[in-house]
Amino acid sequence: MATPFDALGLALGLAFLVLATVCVMKGRRQDDRALFDAGWGFLAIALLMVLNWAGEPTDYRYRFLSEVQLLLFLWSGYLFVRFRHSLLPLSRRTHLLAVGACGALSPVIVAANLPYTENPSLSAAQFGLVMAISSVWSVCVGGVAVGFWRQARNRPSVQRARLRALSIGFTGLVVVALLWSATARIESTTLLLGAQSLALGMVPLLYVSFAPPLWLRRAWRDREETSWFAAQQLAVFHPELSLLAEHAVHWAQRLVGADAAFLLSADGEVLAADRWDGATAERTGREDSRSMLEFPLEYGEGKGSLVVVTGPFTPLFGSDEIARLEAFTSILAVALDRVRLVMALGHENERYERLLQAVSDLDEGVVVTDQGRLVYANEAYARMTGYSVDELMALPNLLDLSLPEEREMLTERLRSRLAGGAVEDHYEAGLVHREGHRVDTEAAVKLIQTNEGIRIVSVVRDITERKRHERQLEELDEIKSEFISNAAHELRTPLTSIVGLAATLAESRDRLTEQDISMCIEALDRGAKRLALLVNRLLDFTQLESGRVQVSLQPVVLAQVANQVMEENPAPEDVEVRIEIADNVVVWADPLRLDQVLTNLISNAYRYGGHEIRIHAKREEDAVVVDVDDDGPGVPESLLDSLFHPFVRGSAEQQGAGLGLAIVQRLAEAFGGRVSYHPVRPHGARFRLRLRQAA
């Protein structure tokens, strides 16, 4: 009785019993239907083995038990199909087919009345039944093996290893079943022994695939470890938060053969998720939290977490895996903090750059110096100096750009500032532009402490324009006082003769000759007239200067105005005036003011010119050029520059106010034209009035 077969059979039975118990208990603990089904399948096989060992060939119970054994065997195949179904759902048809096959064979087993002896000789029909049973079982269990093998593809290597172990285990069982059924026909102890040994060998394989020990889980993980290490290094130094988070969850998931993983920020936002899809979410939501493992992640101001979701193919999730993931999480927290800081620094830099750009856009120069050497200059400063930023950076000392006469002062300021002395933060200084001209600047200076030492930041503004305006205003002020002084002088001259002559006449008329008296009266008359003229011209001029004179521009027939002027100002006896103006020449002007302009020019010609005066007009595109020519001596060289300035007179003996040409110039400009002087060869003066032509 104590054959090696019996011993092997018992060992086999006990081994399957242990496997079944592990599966059922684990299934109970994890509320996992798949494990339950597998457990029941293994239990059926274990029972079969135990009954085989306990039974006696001649015993009637044996007969009963043998039929029970065959039924157990057949239906264990169905239980494995169910096991597979709960992990990898099968179609309803396949499911029904399995149930149908087992259901159809069950009554045949009972009815077949198979001989149960030590060495049975089976009829062809009986052998056929045995083959049918083993075929149905093999198809069922083989399907499980194939299903798992195929499923192993495209899975993380840990899951893949586990699925392959399962697949190999079930394949082994199929081979055993086939060998066993073969022993029904072929009598061979070797075959039987081989089948039993193989079956025994499959048990640990199946066992480890359901409850892998630490060493095996590590072995499975080994493939991932190498790349995981590299990935971890990469992840830690990854510059971007979202990519870092993606890497982190991907590798956390792969390392332990989990189904999915995701990373939650402190405010519960999902930073990254890997393999987290609707199906996983639904399953996780249906099941309790035992399939989700949360690892707290302390970084920044809050506490996020790394969540790993285990799935049906995830091997045992032991303390080793938890320790690995905890270690990974701490590294991850540091990496996340680092990335956050790097990003914050980047933003800070960006803000700083933008600020500097904005300052530069406003044409405010910004320079940073270290011991006088430039370490930063913006575009505005470069524009101000005419150098490029690169050229500026190459300068040995920024003082090289300063005005030579100011260098000592600036050096002293710098020395005093660095020594902590009280120095005005704000000062004005000149720069030498690349093209050699002076640029006036004002600068605001601050010291800043950097990692590399003390730096000086200066904001520099170009005030050349402002300075120029200030100088212009000063010049204008001078012109104004000179004008007033000139005006006073001009008024005093006729006043002097009027006051003096009036007094003389009043006090000493009886002591004067008749000739003296008439000279006095004539002089008085001239003085009074000149005074009146001067006052009128002064008023005119000041109003023109201040822009208070309104000119109403309209088309004016030039010839009409010229003729009118000639009537009002007839030529002296020895002067001949020729007017050459076509009747259809029309200009834009204020008629009364144009009269004033021509009167001034003609009076000047009478006063300073010779004996022939010619007034000539010609059209030039949209302008009309009016020339007033005389054949006098022309304007002396010394007066040319100031000819149109107020109080410039050809000669003191002439009774002008010195304002005529100044007024002409301002009126011509008010008409949108201009006046200019051109000497005439061999002698003579030409005053050229350029006016806008009216259609």
Partner 1 sequence: MSQKTILVVDDEPDIVLTVRLTLELEGYRVITVGTGEDALEVLQRETPDVILLDLRLPGIDGFAVLERLPDHNPPVIVLSAHASGGTVQRALEMGCREFITKPFNPDQLSAKIRSILNGV
Residue 330 or 486 having the CB closest to partner 1 = 486
* One residue of 26, 434, 461, 526 binding partner 1 per CB under 8 A: 526
Q: Which is nearer to partner 1, 489 or 578 (by Cβ)? A: 489
Residue selected from 20, 22, 176, 520 as contacting partner 1 according to rule CB under 8 A? 520
With contacts defined by CB under 8 A, name the span among 148-156, 233-241, 342-350, 517-525 that binds partner 1: 517-525
Judged by CB under 8 A, which of 194, 312, 386, 500 binds partner 1?
A: 500
Among 70, 325, 498, 534, binds partner 1 (CB under 8 A): 498
Q: What's the CA gap between 690 and 95, in Å, rounded?
A: 111
* Residue 533 makes contact with partner 1 by CB under 8 A: no
The interface region with partner 1, picked from 13-21, 52-60, 278-286, 519-527 by CB under 8 A, is: 519-527
Instruction: Report helix, strand or coil for 630.
Output: strand
Q: Which of 527, 609, 646, 656 binds partner 1 (CB under 8 A)?
A: 527
β-sheet with 260-264: strand ranges across: 270-274, 260-264, 302-309, 292-299
Using rule CB under 8 A, residue 311 touches partner 1: no
In 408-543, DSSP assigns E strands to 426-432, 438-450, 453-462
Q: Which of 549, 628, 557 is nearest to 589 (CA)?
A: 557
The residue range among 19-27, 73-81, 429-437, 521-529 that interacts with partner 1, by the rule CB under 8 A, is 521-529
The residue within the footprint of partner 1, chosen from 492, 529, 618, 674 (CB under 8 A), is 492
User: Cα dist. 126→65, 120, 130, 215, 345 in Å?
Assistant: 18, 11, 6, 47, 83
- Find the part of the chain contacting partner 1 (CB under 8 A) among 65-73, 257-265, 485-493, 626-634: 485-493
Q: Which of residues 221-250 bind partner 1 (CB under 8 A)?
A: none
Distance in Å, CB of 470 to partner 1, minimum: 24
| Residue 124 φ then ψ, to 5° | -60, -40
Of 390 and 637, CB closest to partner 1: 637
Q: Can residue 535 be called a binding residue for partner 1 (CB under 8 A)? A: no
Tell me whether residue 497 or residue 564 sits nearer to partner 1 (CB atom). Answer: 497
- Nearer to partner 1 (CB atom), residue 204 or residue 636: 636
Work out how close the CB of 494 gets to partner 1 at its nearest, in angstroms, rounded to a whole number: 7
| Of 600, 609, 532, nearest in space to 561 by CA | 600
DSSP 549: P
Nearest approach, Cβ of residue 528 and partner 1 (Å): 11
CA 472, CA 384: separation in Å to the nearest integer?
A: 22
- Say how far apart CA 275 and CA 252 lie, in whole Å: 12
Q: Is 625 exposed, middle or buried (0-12, 13-18, 19+ CB in 10 A)?
A: middle
Size of the site for partner 1 (CB under 8 A): 29
Instruction: Give yes or no for a contact between 199 and 42, defined as CB atoms under 8 angstroms apart.
Output: no
- The residues near 605 (Cβ < 8 Å, ≥ 6 apart) are 613, 628, 630, 632, 685
Q: Which is nearer to partner 1, 118 or 641 (CB)?
A: 641
503 binds partner 1 (CB under 8 A): yes
2 binds partner 1 (CB under 8 A): no
181, burial (CB in 10 Å: exposed 0-12, middle 13-18, buried 19+): buried
Task: Name the amino acid, one letter, at 629.
Answer: D
| Six token digits for residue 121 | 């000789």
Ramachandran bin of 156, using left for φ above 0, alpha for ψ from -120 to 50, beta for the remaining angles: beta
Q: Specify the pairing of strand 612-620 against strand 576-580.
A: parallel
Task: Kindly state the smallest distance separating residue 495's Cβ from partner 1, in Å.
Answer: 4
d(CA 152, CA 145) in angstroms, rounded, equals 11
Q: Taking contact as CB under 8 A, which single stretch among the options 4-12, 272-280, 489-497, 589-597 is the one that binds partner 1?
A: 489-497
Strand stretches in 379-467, DSSP E: 426-432, 438-450, 453-462
Only one of the segments 207-215, 449-457, 493-501, 665-673 lies at the binding site for partner 1 (rule: CB under 8 A); that segment is: 493-501
x-or-dash pattern for partner 1, window 626-665, by CB under 8 A? -------------------------xxx------------
Binding site residues, partner 1, CB under 8 A? 485, 488-490, 492-501, 503-504, 507-508, 511-512, 516, 519-520, 523, 526-527, 651-653
